[in-house]
Structure 1
Amino acid sequence: MGKVLILGGGFAGVEAAIYLRKHELDVTLVSDRDYFYIYPISIWIPTGEKTREDVSVPLDQLAFAHGFKLIVDPVTSFEAKEKKVILESGRVLDDYEYIVVALGQDKIQMKGMEHTLSICGKPEEATALYERLEALVLKDSGKITMGFGGNPKDSSAVRGGPAFEVLFNVHNFLKKKGIRDNFELTFFAPMEKPGIKMGEKAVEMMDKMFGMTNIKKKIGSKITSFEADGINFEDGTKIESDLTMFISAGTGHSILAESGLPLSEAGFVVTNAYNEIEGFDGIYAIGDSASLMGPDWRAKQGHVAEVMAKNVAYNLFNKMQKIDSKHSYEEHLNILCVMDTGNGAAFVYRDNKGGKMIPMPIVGHWMKKGWGWYCRNSKLGKIPRIPGM
C-alpha cells in the first residue's frame, strides 16, 4: 500500500485525504490546527449568527470517519527533492513516496495592516470582527469600511466575494436593530471594476445594490496604508474608519519559497493540468498552493481546490497501478458561489461563455446556510455526497 503525506488541512487537503482513503491508501494529513474551518460560512460570525465552533469541524473526527492518520503540528520546512518535511516540534517526515502540497497561501502584507481584520485570515479575526462590531453597536454609531486588495502578479489570488457578503450582512444586521442610519458603510478596492471576474452584468448589479443600501464606494485608487482611524489612498484621500475589514490578495506560501519547487512570479507552485510538478515525481500541489492556469477571470475557490484534490487521488492511484488515465482540472474551471446578503443571496456563475448573477431573495440566504450544514455532515460521512458538491 502506497504511503501518502498531505500537507494542509483546508478544503484541498481534507478532500485529498478523503478520496485517497477511498482507494485504501495509507494517508497521513499534517495540519497547523486541529480543525477544518468552513470559510464560506464564517461570513456570519461578525454579525453573531455563527460562532467559530459552528464553522469548525474537528480534524480528529474527520480522520476517524475516513481512516486517515492525523498530525497536528505546523510545517516549518519542506525539502522537495528529498521529500523531507520538518515540523515545528522537530519531528522529521521523510518516508513517504507521495506528497500532496495543500498548504494554502500567504497574504500580501501592506503598511498598517495590523489595524485591519480579515474574514479570510486567521479564524480568530472573524471573532474579533464580531467583538469590534458589537462595541460600535453599543456606541450606537460609527464608520465601517470593508474591502479587498489585488495581486498584479496573479489575479486568480484575489478574494472579493466574502467582502461583499460581510458588508451586506452588516448592513442588514444594523437595519434589523433600527440603527443603520447611524452608521456610515463604505466599500473600497484599488481596481476600477471590483468584481469584474463575475462579468459586466454582475458589476452593474453590485452597483445597484450599493445604491439601494446606501453603501459608499471608494474604488480605482491604490491603497497606500492603513491607520487606526482610516485608510490612505494614492490619490491623496483618506477614508475615516472605526472598523476596517480588509481581505488582502494571496501570495505564495513562505514554506514553499524555500522548498526547491518551481514557483510562479507570485510564488505559487507551477504544475500541469493534472497538478503534477515537472521534475518532482510523486509530488503534487493543489488548492491555493498551486498556480492556477486558465483565462483571466479564473479564481482560486474552494470547489476548484476540491476538484484538484479528487483528481490527484484518481491520478495518483492510477499511477501506482500503472494505469494510463488522468483527470485534469481545466475543464472544471468556473466561478461558482451563492453570495449571501443577510436577507437573501445572489447566485453567481462565470465560465468561458460569460457570467451571470441571479437574485435569490430570502431563499438564497437559507440555501447557503443549508450548504454549510451539508458541507459539515457530508465530510464527516453522515450523509451522502452530492456529485459536483
Structure 2
Amino acid sequence: MSRIPRIVILGAGYGGIVTAIRLQKELNYNEADVTLVNKHDYHYITTHLHMPAAGTDNPENARVNILRLIDEFKIDFVKSTVTQIRPQEKKVLLEEGALSYDYLVVGLGGEPETFGIPGMKEYALSIRSINSVRFIREHIEYQFARFKREPNRKDYLTFIVGGAGFTGIEFVGELADRIPPLCKEFDVDPSLVKIYNIEAAPTALPGFDPELVEYAMNVLRNKGVTFRISTAIKECTPDGVILATGEQLKAATVVWTGGVRGNHMLDEAGFETMRGRIKVDAKLRAPGYDNVYVLGDCSIVMNPEGRPYPPTAQISMQQAGVCAHNLVASIRGERLKDFEYKSKGTVASLGRGEAIGIVGTRKIKGSVAAVMKKVIDVRYLYTIGGLPLVLRKGRF
C-alpha cells in the first residue's frame, strides 16, 4: 500500500488560506495529508489593516479564526512559528518540532523593505500584522496625551508616512479622518496637527491612472495631508526623518510603507531570490524544486512586458487557485496548469466615503469607488468563509 502524500502549507495569509480551502474542497478523504502552519490561530485581512492602524476601526474586524475556515477532518492546523526551511531534506523546522513534506507551499508573507535607509528599521513603525496595527493605533493616541503634558512639543502632533503606494495612501486617508475626533477628545487645536506623505517616486500611487491619482491627492490635501513627492528619505532618526535635500522633519511618529521584500527564510534556505522573493516558474514552483510552490509576497511573477507584478491580495488569491489545482493534479498524475494573472480591477480607499479605482477599463472615484471597495471586501469574505462570515464581518 502506497503512502499518502504530505502537503505542508506555510502561512495562512491570502495565498496559504485560499490554497488550504481549495484543497479541502478538491481532495478526497485520504488522498493527501494536508497541514497548515501559522504562528497565529487567525487569518488577518491585510488590505483592511490601514483602518485599525489609524484607529478608524477595531482590529478584531480584520481577523478571522482559522478553525472557522478549514475542515479539521481534511486540514491539520499547527499553530507554530517556522524557523527554517530545508528543501534538500524536504523538511520544515518549527519552534516546536519539525514537519516532513512531499509538497511544500510557501506563503509566509513579506517583510518591510527599507532599501538600506539608516534608522528606518529601528525607528519607523510598519503596518504588518494585527499586533503592529494595535501598537500604531495606541502610539498615535499617546502622542496627543503627551502633547497635553508638553504643549511646546509640536513634533508629538506631526505624523510622517513614508511611501505613497497603496498602503501609504490608504493609511493617510484613514489617519486624516481620525485626527478630528482625537483633537476633540484631547482638546487639541487641529491646525497644530501635521500629516506628511513622502514619496521618492515622481508621483503618488506609481503606475496608477494619473487622472485618478490627481483626484486622490486633492481629496487627501483637503483632509490636511501634505505631500512631498519626488523626495527621498535619507535617514530615519528618533526625532523624525532627514530628507535627501538635507531638510529635517521632526516627528514623534514615522510609519514606513515604502516597500515589501520576501521572507528572510527563503534566502537562508538557499533558494535563488531577488529581494528575498523567488521568481517562480509558470506552474508557481521554485526553480530546481518541482515540489515547492511559492505564493504571494514570497514570489515574483512577471507580466507580459517582463516586469514583476506588484504583490497584491488579488494576485495571491489567483495563485492559490492554480497552486491547489497543480497539487491535486500532481497527486493524481494529471496535467498541471500555468498561472496567468487576470486583473479584476483595483480600488484604493481614501478614507470615509472616498476611493478611486479601475474596474475593467472604467475609472471610478468618490462614493461609487468606496462602495466598490466594500463589495471587494465582502466578496473576499464570501470566498473564504461563505455567507456566515459575510454576515459576521461584512459591515466593513
Cα-to-partner distance string for 1:177-234 (whole Å, 9 max, x where unaligned): 6654331111112222231211322332233234433421222233221122211122
Please give the alpha-carbon distance, in whole angstroms, between the structure 2 residues aligned to 1:65 and 1:337: 34
How many angstroms does 1:357 deviate by?
4.7
SS at 1:323 equivalent = coil
Cα 1:131–1:357 shift into 2, 3 Å: farther
Aligned equivalent of 1:147, options 162, 183, 196: 162
Q: Which residue of 2 aligns with 1:13?
A: 16
How many angstroms does 1:367 deviate by?
5.1
Cα 1:184–1:108 shift into 2, 3 Å: same
Letter in 2 for 1:245: V
Q: Verify the 8 A CA contact 1:345 1:365 in the aligned structure 2.
A: yes
Q: Which residue of 2 aligns with 1:172?
A: 177
| Correspondence 1:131-210 to 2 at 5 A | 131-138=138-145, 139=147, 142-148=157-163, 160-175=165-180, 180-210=190-220
SS at 1:197 equivalent = coil
Q: Which residue of 1 aligns with 2:267?
A: 257
Letter in 1 for 2:286: I
Cα 1:384–1:254 shift into 2, 3 Å: closer
Cα-to-partner distance string for 1:243-284 (whole Å, 9 max, x where unaligned): 2211141223211112232323x2211211220233212211
Q: Which residue of 2 aligns with 1:154?
A: none
Q: Which residue of 1 aligns with 2:238?
A: 228
- Give the structure-2-normalised TM-score: 0.83
Please give the alpha-carbon distance, in whole angstroms, between the structure 1 residues aligned to 2:216 and 2:163: 15
Query: Kindly, what percent of the aligned residue pairs are identical?
Result: 22
Aligned equivalent of 1:286, options 280, 289, 295: 295
Please give the alpha-carbon distance, in whole angstroms, between the structure 1 residues aligned to 2:248 and 2:369: 35
Q: Which residue of 2 aligns with 1:153?
A: none
Q: Verify the 8 A CA contact 2:56 2:178 in the aligned structure 1.
A: no
Please give the alpha-carbon distance, in whole angstroms, between the structure 2 residues aligned to 1:248 and 1:124: 20
Aligned equivalent of 1:108, options 78, 100, 113: 113
How many angstroms does 1:236 deviate by?
0.7
Q: Which residue of 2 aligns with 1:305?
A: 316
Q: Verify the 8 A CA contact 2:220 2:350 in the aligned structure 1.
A: no
| Correspondence 1:61-140 to 2 at 5 A | 61-64=68-71, 67-89=74-96, 91-94=97-100, 96-109=101-114, 110-113=117-120, 114-119=122-127, 121-138=128-145, 139=147
Please give the alpha-carbon distance, in whole angstroms, between the structure 2 residues aligned to 1:337 and 1:240: 34
Cα-to-partner distance string for 1:105-136 (whole Å, 9 max, x where unaligned): 222244223322122x2322211221122234
Q: Which residue of 2 aligns with 1:156?
A: none
Letter in 2 for 1:98: Y
How many angstroms does 1:372 deviate by?
4.2
Please give the alpha-carbon distance, in whole angstroms, between the structure 2 residues aligned to 1:340 and 1:298: 21
Q: Which residue of 1 aligns with 2:46?
A: 39
Q: Which residue of 1 aligns with 2:151?
A: none
Q: Verify the 8 A CA contact 1:231 1:239 in the aligned structure 2.
A: yes
| Correspondence 1:344-383 to 2 at 5 A | 344-349=353-358, 357-361=363-367, 364-365=369-370, 368-369=373-374, 371-372=376-377, 375-376=380-381, 378-383=383-388
| Correspondence 1:317-332 to 2 at 5 A | 317-330=328-341, 332=342
SS at 2:325 equivalent = helix
Please give the alpha-carbon distance, in whole angstroms, between the structure 1 residues aligned to 2:336 and 2:216: 43
Please give the alpha-carbon distance, in whole angstroms, between the structure 2 residues aligned to 1:205 and 1:145: 21
Please give the alpha-carbon distance, in whole angstroms, between the structure 1 residues aligned to 2:217 and 2:349: 16
SS at 1:196 equivalent = coil
Return 5+ residue gaps in structure 1 as ranges.
150-159
SS at 1:380 equivalent = helix
Letter in 2 for 1:287: G
Letter in 2 for 1:167: V
Q: Which residue of 2 aligns with 1:157?
A: none
How many angstroms does 1:365 deviate by?
4.2
Q: Verify the 8 A CA contact 1:78 1:86 in the aligned structure 2.
A: yes
Q: Verify the 8 A CA contact 2:283 2:336 in the aligned structure 1.
A: no
Q: Verify the 8 A CA contact 1:198 1:335 in the aligned structure 2.
A: no
Q: Which 4+ residue blocks in structure 1 deviate beyond 6 angstroms?
A: none
- Give the structure-1-normalised TM-score: 0.84
Letter in 2 for 1:358: I
Please give the alpha-carbon distance, in whole angstroms, between the structure 1 residues aligned to 2:51 and 2:389: 26
How many angstroms does 1:312 deviate by?
0.9
